[in-house]
Structure 1
């Protein structure tokens, strides 16, 4: 893999390239401060997991995938598909416009589309798996023990959470209320069932039993 220049951010060595710089600015423009800090922390956690566990990977693609994974998690999101899929399409357009080839652009698409589906994402290519892992660490604390506490504290200090749990809950519930058809087969369903009055997702059991076949 070609050597690329690097710099330190919150104590973590990260790639310093025009593509990464553009992704940071794109994420800053699309995300409110709470979500921007979340995507940066996710990136830094993913980078440290790779470094600590000596995982060979394309550091630019991990940067772009984590930075752009929540570009549709905002007030402007209007579907009609899952916010991850809509975001994956935007991320692929961004990467293609920045000269990324088809193979790497597909890694970005998968990283964004699968960012909240660890049962699949963690078993994909290293770049996709690392994006999933970094995001999972920041959202639910997945494998948080791998990164030393002092390192995590510095990352959170430089990119504070800004009430992330409450704000993310509000974002997910808004999606459930405005676009319920995009929530039935993913984690936002849980937020609908817990917090949104009147929300009721269809059962896959009924879909299977009511399929238009005799047996």
Structure 2
């Protein structure tokens, strides 16, 4: 697998087209589900719990140590949402890799793992090194790298390996409320009860805004110019006030 080594910010026009295409895919998916009278599957807590492996335990310990509580909870919600949306990908997923990529996907937003590049790549490189140190094969460590490097790559991530698509879906749900109808309502409420989003939008907006001020060539520069931070602050998931 070729690793993503740079992430220049795309043009605003290209991004707008990708967001419109994403919205159209969601409308189509919801319409087909309604016509066929299909329901999304309920996913219980046991299914989105942490896999029992040393690499996963060490990754959770790392993220817990370096992250503010709101960021840790975001990573855990993103994983839970990703598992809840696994019905959207056609192939079997590597549950250990999915957890590793999800729980470490925002390492680059922490002070300890901010090395001056766009935060997705800073985090991806350190997460890959963590995986290699804890017995994950080079091939699977590369997949973790790409999950993190591409987790916010609109128009790209959903076409890649299922683990990359799922972290994109899960994080997108938590950050902007994308795809909420692809998650069973009871699953959604149980995840939010376990990992509340209280104050998340404002805290995350400040963190990302600081990155953009210090690193104006970051990948998300164009997203921020299109109003990403305001949407992040206002996003609410079903059942939230």
Residue 118, structure 1, aligned to residue 154, structure 2 = yes
Misfit runs of 4+, over 6 Å: none
Counterpart of 1:167 in structure 2 is: 203
How far is 1:187 from its partner? 2.8
State which of 160, 165, 173 in structure 2 corresponds to 1:129: 165
1:29 and 1:51, CA in 2 relative to 1: closer, same or farther beyond 3 A? farther
**Match for residue 85 of structure 2?**
49
Give the conservation status (yes or no) of the 8 Å contact 1:10–1:158. Answer: no
Q: How many residues align?
A: 187
* Distance verdict in 2 for CA 1:88–1:100, change over 3 Å: same
Per the normalisation by structure 1, the TM-score is 0.77
Change (3 A) 1:189 1:183: farther
Q: What is the correspondence of 1:64-83 to structure 2 with a 5 Å cutoff?
A: 64-75=100-111, 78-83=114-119
Cα distance change on mapping 1:72 and 1:12 into 2, 3 Å: same
Higher relative contact order at CA 8 Å, sep ≥6: structure 1 or structure 2? 2
8 Å contact 1:78–1:179 — kept in the other structure? no
**Residues 61-96 of structure 1: per-residue CA shift (max 9 Å, x gap):** 110001000012135565421000000001001001
| Uncovered stretches (5+) of structure 1, i.e. residues with no partner | 1-7, 195-215
Secondary structure (helix, strand or coil) at the match of 2:85 reads helix
Higher helix fraction (1 or 2): 2
**Larger-Rg structure:** 1
CA contact (8 A) 2:59 2:104 kept: yes
User: SS of 1:170's equivalent?
Assistant: helix
Deviations 1:166-206 (A, max 9, x none): 11110111112222232576534446997xxxxxxxxxxxx
Partner-residue secondary structure (3-state), 2:135 = coil
**Hey, what does 2:58 align to over in structure 1?**
22
Where 1:80 maps in the other structure, the secondary structure is coil
TM-score (norm 2): 0.70
Structure 2 Cα separation of the partners of residues 23 and 184 of structure 1 = 25
1:156 alignment counterpart: 192
Shift of 1:149: 1.3
